[in-house]
Structure 1
Amino acid sequence: MPPRRVAWEVLQAVARGQLADEALDQALERTPLSSADRGLATELVYGTLRQQRRLDRWIAAHSKRPAALPVQILLRLGVYQVQYLDQVPSFAAVDTTVELAKHQGLGKAAGFINALLRRAVTESEQEAAGLTLGERYSLPDWLVNLWQTQVGTAETEALCQWLNRPAHLDLRVNRLRATVIQVQTSLATAGINTAPIMGLPNALRVTQAAGRVQDWPGFAEGWWLVQDGAAQVVGYVLNPQPGWRVIDVCAAPGGKSTHLAELMADQGEVWALDRSAGRLARVRENATRLGLTALRTRVGDGTSPQDWPGLADGVLVDAPCSGLGTLHRHPDGRWRQTPERIRELIPLQARLLARASTWVKPGGLLVYATCTLNPDENEAQIETFLAHQPHWQLAPVPSDNPVAALLGGQPQVTLWPQRQNLDGFFIARLRFCPPSGHP
């Protein structure tokens, strides 16, 4: 029962507004579990959130009236195990869910839960021809419609399928301390298999894992960092050179900041700017483990005036966004985000972009990146910025850039998960080209 109790507590915390990954991390710290039970608790949390719309649809179709939220969450957990987890015997899913209800003061609902879950065993959900893509893949209709307007129905369905897969794990090899082959070999000795990611020279995708990431060979030595391949593309797009001064806006937890320092051979300065001192501590921890000395952390709001006019060779604006390209990692995001909440982000993104542009020296570069698949936060932001900034222009990466082929020669690109098999990202590269004598 412990992993199921942990999952139930986490899902209640998510229903109260906490982020799923934060709630899960806290719960796993409080509750000692074996590696297998930690894995089961994680699968129950993320799987139940991922399939929440389908689960609620089935529960509603087999209930006379809505259940109270704690009971509804138990029902979701139980039905998810019965209908989606082959490794959990149906009788165990039913019995443990009923026992959990009794232990959590929900004994009055135990009979109802037992009856409904036993029905779920014999009456699994039937696919209906009339289901919308949102119903079939457990996503909000407004979100599916947003993607259909961009890539059409067939690609949207492929995207929905991709976002319902368990999240993959990518590593970025720190070439200042190890080689890709060295990392692959050391991990293999611990039963962790990896494969190179096409188009990314220092990226590995984990194909078979074992144990905690922090215990893997090379972690303590700073040989590698966990970072999705799409996030690694961002660093290559800026591609800072040794001796540069670079500012990373909204830098925590530091994956991109440390990548920039590595690309500069740890020569020069990387200023990691974030409004959270606590989150910047994570940046410093990562930099120390990776052996990077070029990185400096600065507490500050990227939208506020800073006395840094023309100070940087390059600036990265990793803007706060709706995260629609990472819903496989953060399945609660599909229920947390709304069109209204996203509209509130857009002015903040625009202010960050405008402020950061003042820090770039003539001829310098600015990269704007998000992990979302929403043109209002992506292409529209760049279009608006350029309309008000005549001395800026889009700038494709040089042909010898490591990710030039991936970008297809375009100065701004959306990485679609169903196409590139990476997290969904938008990246734009701009250059400051003022006239001679410009202050």
Structure 2
Amino acid sequence: MLDTGNTAWILTSASLVLLMTPGLALFYGGMVRAKSVLNMMMMSFGALALISVLWVLWGYSIAFGDDIGGGLLGSPFEFFGLNGLMEDTDAALPTMAFVGFQSVFAIITVALISGAIADRAKFGAWMVFAGIWATVVYFPVAHWVFAFDGDDVVGGWIANDLAAIDFAGGTAVHINAGAAGLALALVLGKRRGFGREAMRPHNLPLVMIGAGLLWFGWFGFNAGSALAADNTASVVWVNTLVATAAATLGWLLVEKMRDGHSTSLGAASGVVAGLVAITPACSAVSPIGAIIIGAVAGALCALAVGLKYKLGYDDSLDVVGVHLVGGLWGTIAIGFLADPAAPAGVESLFFGGSADQLWRQVVGAVAVLAFSFVLTLVIGFVIQKTMGFRLTEDDEVTGIDTVVHAESGYDFASLGSSGSTAPLAGQARAEARNNERTLA
């Protein structure tokens, strides 16, 4: 019989997670230079539009259809176009509510990758990549991690055979996106001037607003994954709050000790690091465990973002340092800090003295990392060699907003003498076309 309370909670949670993608657009948009802000935001909105459609057509079926390949892949045609899922049933939760909830996970996972290639990727190539990557990487990995065996249904190998814990997407979302971001950063190469020129965020208030929206929406991301308005959701909600708070403090402390200043960018980044790390573990640890996971994540990710300068890859907005490193830590930390009293009910090395869960967590994390990294390298390389993925150097210098979208995030020309009096060439052409259509 339909449980209207749980249904309302899942639909509300889905809406909260949907809000995270515009929040990510603001977060990423504020972190890039002014000449790239619109493109950065468009990459998130483009993913939102495209993946929504693909999820309905075949994504949900690949992720949650009956397994056709040893726990690796769901049947892409079983629920093609969500066929057969609209009927009213006696289930406590409508299938379409679950379809909607899982769709927004797919959307934001793809959008997260865009931060690694800011300033230098063609929008059309990004959209082609997003569609291919979602189909051959995210949808199968979602099957591995989120598809549990049921009545006459066989699910994914990580969820069932390996029995690794990933409550809300540490592997499927964050390790997956972080590994893909690293691969794409290697394929596209460094931004012009990387390591020599200052590439500071152009609008820190946007970054802070985006981080706030991500934190708000993440309660739907994590607590909604309980699929019920129950005790598990309540424990997860509290763990999500406190881990994120601890990570923010951890990041700020590292900044203060290392640089002498605690920054707003650090606070916003610490928020995201804590959210990433607690995502897989939020049902398996106590609030004290959540604080430990968050504090370590904040400090660890604050240190990890500097790796790109030492190792020579250009991860523009620290997708690797935050999502890959934070996702790995949060996933593996379950093996050390899982508390049998938490809803997941598993023992760990420090709570029960068992290393059984630890090896399961490591195997799941490494498997997703390797799969995503290798396939993303292949997809990115093929796109680069065919249609071209990276902008030309001249276009990158001019600014991707002007070249690709014929727009500017900030119309300084309208300010008269306080800004440039010459409209951008692309913008002028677009305005001329609009005037012609109006006169016609």
TM-score, with length taken from structure 1: 0.22
Highest Rg: 1 or 2? Answer: 1
Higher relative contact order (CA 8 A, sep 6+): 2
TM-score, with length taken from structure 2: 0.22
